[in-house]
Structure formats: C-alpha cells, structure tokens
Amino acid sequence: MFAPLQNDSFLRACLRQPTPHTPMWLMRQAGRYLPEYRATRMKAGNSFMGLATNVGYATEVTLQPLDRYALDAAILFSDILTVPDAMGLGLSFGAGEGPKFAKPVQDEAAVNALAVPDMDKLRYVFDAVTSIRKALHGRVPLIGFSGSPWTLACYMVEGGSSDDYRKVKTMLYSRPDLMHRILTVNADAVAVYLNTQIDAGAQAVMIFDSWGGVLADGAFQEFSLAYTKRVLAQLKREKDGQRIPAIVFTKGGGPWLQEIADAGSDVVGLDWTVNLAQARAQVGGQVALQGNLDPNVLFAPPAAIQAEAIKVLDAFGRPQRADGGWDGHIFNLGHGISQHTPPEHVTALVEAVHRHSRTLREPA
Amino acid sequence: MFAPLQNDSFLRACLRQPTPHTPMWLMRQAGRYLPEYRATRMKAGNSFMGLATNVGYATEVTLQPLDRYALDAAILFSDILTVPDAMGLGLSFGAGEGPKFAKPVQDEAAVNALAVPDMDKLRYVFDAVTSIRKALHGRVPLIGFSGSPWTLACYMVEGGSSDDYRKVKTMLYSRPDLMHRILTVNADAVAVYLNTQIDAGAQAVMIFDSWGGVLADGAFQEFSLAYTKRVLAQLKREKDGQRIPAIVFTKGGGPWLQEIADAGSDVVGLDWTVNLAQARAQVGGQVALQGNLDPNVLFAPPAAIQAEAIKVLDAFGRPQRADGGWDGHIFNLGHGISQHTPPEHVTALVEAVHRHSRTLREPA
C-alpha cells in the first residue's frame, strides 16, 4: 500500500540503532514561518482548522518543509485539541488568538457527560495521515501525534489557553475525583486515536504533554504521567513487523526525567533547560532522546545558529558508546518553531546538524 | 534605632538554626487578594506605583497581611523594576496590564548609555524600608528585594512582559557582548540597591530571578547565574553583628539546583516542581530552602489546603537531622499568591503550617 522507506534514520535513532547522521525534524515545522504555508492557509480561508480538516491542504502543508529542508521526518499537520473537539466541546480558533472551547468542562455534569468519542468524527485526521503517507512516497517516516490526557484536560477545563491554570488546578485540588474521571476518558480516547493513526499509516507517534510542567511535584506523577502511561500501555507498538516508536515530550519535564523515561516510551523529548549530557548519562541506556535547541536561537545569524546546534550535538556526544552499542539522539527544538523565524535560518541549522553529526561519527 | 526583634524564626531558619516551628511568609503577601490592600490602592489613585512611591502607603500595605495572619516575615512592598526605572527607562503600569518601559534597551547605543543609577532616585524605596522597619516594632524581620540582573534585562530589552522572550534572546544569541554589558551594569546596580536597603533597615534580602528558568542550560549559567553571583559577591552580609541572609529564587530553576546552591546565598527558593525531599538531600547541608506550595492550592477548600501544606512540610521532614544539627526550611508558595485567592484560605494555610511544623519537632 505504501512505498518503501528511503530514509529510516529517524526511526533507527528512536530505536537506538546506528545512523550515519543525527536525524532531525522541528516541532511545528509546517507552520506560519513559511510563506508557502501562509499561501495555502489563505486558500483555506485563513483558517487553521480549515487547513487541518481538508485532506488535500493538510497533505500539502505537511510536505512543504520537506521540500525546502533535508529533514528526516514528517509530522501530521493537525492540532492537539482534535480529540476534545470530537467529544463535542466545540473547538474554534479566533483570529490571532489561541484555541477556545464553546463548552468547557467545568462542573460535575459536564465531566460525567464525557466519553471516548466515535473515531468517525476524526476521520479527517486519519484520512490526512493516509494521504500524507502516500504523498511522501517513502522519503521519510510520518509521525502521528496527540496531546497528553493532562494537556487536553487543561484546555477542556480552562476553555482555552491560560497563564495560571487556575480553573483546572482548582478542580484538581478540590475535586480530584472529577479530574481523574476526565483523565481516564482522555487517556482511553488518546490511545484509540493514536492507534487509529497507526492503522492509517503513522510510523511513529508522539504524545505532547505541553502543560505537564505546570504541575507540582507529586501532582505531575498522579495527574499527568500516570495517564500518559495509561496511553502507552494501550498503544500498538508494532505494525507489519515494524516497531512503531512512541515519543513522550513534557515541556518543563526536566525535574522528572527518570520517571518519564521509566513510563514506557521509546523516546523522551527534552526542552532546552535540560543538560543533554546529564540526561544521556541518566537515561540514555533506556530511551532515545529528542531535542533540545532553544527555538529563539533561530533569530541569531547563521554562524551563531550553527555554533549553538553544535553545542547541542556535542552535549549528547558520539551516539556510539565505548562498548560499541548505540544510544539514540534525534535533533529537534525544545518547543515549536516560532512564526517569526527567518526560513533561511532553518537551512543553516539543518546543514549544520547533518554535517557536524557526521563528523561526530568519524573514528577518533 | 529599631525595636528588638521578637520573632526571629525566619532569620534563624535562613541560617539553619533551631526554630520552634517552620517560619512562613508568602511571596506577594501584600497584594490584591486583600480587600484592605485594594482600599489603600484606591487612596493612591488605584496606581501600583502610586502605592510603591508613597512611604506611608507602602508601609500600610506591607503591614496589612501581618495584621491578618501570623506570618513570620514582612517583605518590602515595591516592584522588581524600580532599578531600570531609575536608569531612566520610564516604567509605567497600564490599567490591568503588566509593566511597560517607555525606552526599552534594544540597540547598541541604548546599551552603551546604561549606567548604575544614582541611588537618590530610589530614595522612596529606602525611606519605605526604614518606615516599615520602624512600624514593625520588631514583630518580625523585614526582607528587602530586587529583580535579578537577567530578569531585569528581560524587561529592559522586551520593553515589558513577554511570552517568548524573543527580543532578549535574539540579543543574547546575536550580540552576547551587548547582553553581558547590560548584565554587568544591572548586577552592580542591584548590589548597591540591596546594600542601601540593608543600610536602611532590611534584615534579609531576596533576589528574584523570575525569568531565569526560560534560559537554556548553559545560557542560564552564563547569563543569569553568573550575574546573580556577581551581586552576591558585593552584598553586605552582616550589619550590627547580625548576619543578613541572602535568598536566591529562580522560577523554573529546578534543573540547576546544585549550581544555584553553590552560588553563595544562604537560602534557595524553590518552585512547586521541585521535590523538596530530594532538594534537601542534595543541598540542604549547604543552604536553607524556601518554598514550595503551588499557589493554586489556595483555591481548594481549607481541608485540601491543609493536606497539601502538610505534604510540603513532610517532604522536607524534621528540620533537626539525625546528627543533632539543623537544616533550614522556610515555608512559602512556589510563586506569588494569586489576586483571586480567598483571604480566609490563607488563614487555614498559616494555621496548618504552624501547627503541623510544631508536631514535626516533637520527639519521635
């Protein structure tokens, strides 16, 4: 059904297998910093969900960064909030604003009404996965994704973005029973959502715990990580004899690196506050690591970008260990690329990562 | 000149000396959640700087939370941005908005024009310190404070609050020479500012590195911690035979706990992402620890607040070690108290901290 994979460096690094260079992709690589993305978005009525729900447009924008840059993976163009939207909460994006839910989940009745949505309501996502996978013709693997149960709950309870998470934390501390019920439904919904993406053609899946890092120690383990584990335990990890790597990214998750690595994913994503050398020493024998350049580095001139990229690669070090085995590093930013990034700066970054990471593999 | 201190539990805990209970205060304890604060602010034309620059009003609001709650320390009512304002950048607070600088520091000429300001421009701060210290009549000690060099630089370059720190990080990565010059001036200004607060009557000083945690590993050490150290190295640490404890609080500083503890302060402030038991095991023999309840806990009912407060106290554990010596814990929030906090919830918190921490000290 799909063309054979030509560049498997991303999948190999996820599984801690040898690669000729450090594979890289960028969170939010199909996005507003690219003029061709903005052009496609205008065709879709300048609407984010207009892009995401149209299989042709979603395919087009997913492939745009691959045509410009020698990236080693593609990621489905979609939003982390498609699942609660399919639960009937009414997702919308105001002009220049963040996401909003028409029916936030703020009382016991609303919590009790939640259920794992019919995946037919998310057919547009799965159709996009299959369409993108076909359009890739095996150039690079395709990553599917979802928000984590906790991160979805933040938006569902707050009704949109928040700078203090007051409503969701008030529920968490006042009615932990309600919070656990939301998270259970979310985890089961995310698991079936990701499994259906895998069935549709996703070759790896990533769980974005964008707001795990706002939780207190203790609360993170109970209300975020436990439900990420519940997703991981239900995921299909193999398809057609091929391992489907699972990546967990917790923004601000540095304090809990060991516990996150123990949760059962193949790869742990790291933000830029994490010392990559220490992280590898601690958990690099268990999981591959993805990250972790500060996206703001891309505002500096190319020479500075290249110097900072080399620092990240050198912090991880030679992927081949002294014992001959390999640890896995996938180069990425520590968060999504900014819409204000000059596109030619990404060219400099990709070139530096591929060049220097080949040098790192040369015999000493 | 000042009345003798009646409750020295805060200062003793800072210096890791025995105390009968765990002392506590709350970041932003004099603030909008208190109706009496809002009343005083109306008298000052509903203006934050109107309060901060008027010695009478600043004294009045500093003492308000002490009249309601059995807190163990007072903190000067002021803003972290007084120093760059005195540098001539033109600080203002729009209605319902964050701080704004009329003249942000965004090019080489603006950087070169920066200098340590004449402390006479900050006379209103030092006069407030002396006035508050007198008004306290020795009830509890008075903490002075400043923003850290890096945190001040964030506001100075961005011109106000930011959600991505794009301008300041662009300068950092593009023109590190300019960033180092800003930070050097800031560090020297903060040192003389805090020393003048000490001369005016402050009995401890706190450096708020509110935005240290947005920096990448490596950049944090070079652009934030190095300049916090530069401040600490210049601080008066003793006055009239009494040690003046210095507290360093880095929001999001968990990944760098050891390095922050090594920087030379007496106390390290922790946000709620940090595991307090692990932090004590790691650095509790070097520094006292301050924190670290999530301020959002205060939206839960009193029983839940008390349970969470006990968790924090128990995480630190008995301050007296098995060898008979003492480690220091000052109970606090992990960030400023929210303006939406019900005042009676703070009563429940203070009661729980004092009661349970006395229990913790009973012989086993």
What's the pLDDT score for residue B200? 98
Collect all residues of chain B within an 8 Å Cβ-Cβ radius of residue A311. Answer: 218
* Residue A277 in domain: yes
* Residue A1 in domain: no
Q: What percent of chain B has pLDDT over 90?
A: 95
Averaged pLDDT score across all residues of chain A: 97
* Residue B348 in domain: yes
Catalytic hit among B12, B16, B28, B280: B28
Q: What percent of chain A has pLDDT over 90?
A: 95
pLDDT band at B363 (very low <50, low <70, confident <90, very high): confident
CA distances from B180 to A198, A199, B153, B235 (A): 49, 53, 10, 20
- The Cα of B170 is separated from the nearest Cα of chain A by a number of Å equal to 5
* Residue B340 in domain: yes
Q: Which domain holds residue A342?
A: 9-360
Q: Which residue of chain B has the CA closest to A274? A: B217
Looking at residue A74, the DSSP 8-state letter turns out to be E
For residue range A174-219, list pLDDT tens digits in order: 999 999 999 999 999 999 999 999 999 999 999 999 999 999 999 9
Give me the sign of the Cα torsion angle A120, A25, A249, B268: negative
Q: What is chain A's Cα-based Rg? A: 20
Q: Which residue of chain A has the CA closest to B297? A: A173
For residue range B229-278, list pLDDT tens digits in order: 999 999 999 999 999 999 999 999 999 999 999 999 999 999 999 999 99
Of A213, A217, A276, the CB nearest to B275: A217
Domain count, chain B: 1
Collect all residues of chain B within an 8 Å Cβ-Cβ radius of residue A218. Answer: 275, 311
Which one of B169, B172, B173, B316 makes the best mutation probe of the A interface by having the most chain A beta carbons within 10 Å?
Answer: B173
Cβ-contact A274, B217 below 8 angstroms: yes
Can you tell me which residue has the tokens 């530069």?
B230
For residue range A14-65, list pLDDT tens digits in order: 999 999 999 999 999 999 999 999 999 999 999 899 999 999 999 999 999 9
CB atoms A304 and B174 under 8 Å: yes
Q: Which residue of chain B has the CA closest to A276? A: B217
Q: From CA A193, how far away is CA A122, in angstroms rounded?
A: 8
Collect all residues of chain A within an 8 Å Cβ-Cβ radius of residue B304. Answer: 173-174
- The Cα of B168 is separated from the nearest Cα of chain A by a number of Å equal to 9
Q: Residue A202 maps to which CATH number?
A: 3.20.20.210
* Residue B227 in domain: no
Q: From CA B143, how far away is CA B120, in angstroms rounded?
A: 21
* Residue A337 in domain: yes
What's the pLDDT score for residue A82? 96
* Residue A92 in domain: yes
CB atoms B166 and A294 under 8 Å: no
CB atoms B297 and A173 under 8 Å: yes
- Per-residue pLDDT for B364 more than 80? no
What's the pLDDT score for residue B95? 72
Cβ-contact A10, A204 below 8 angstroms: yes
* Residue B188 in domain: no
CB atoms B216 and A334 under 8 Å: yes
SS3 percent helix, strand, coil of chain B, rounded to 5, is: 50, 15, 35
Mean pLDDT of B85-111: 92
Of B166, B170, B272, the CB nearest to A216: B272
ipTM of the complex: 0.95
CA geometry: angle A267, A271, A276, nearest 5 deg: 70
What's the pLDDT score for residue B19? 98
pLDDT band at A98 (very low <50, low <70, confident <90, very high): confident
Count chain A–chain B contacts defined by CB atoms under 8 A: 103
- Comparing C-alpha atoms, which of A293, A322, A295 is closest to residue A308? A293
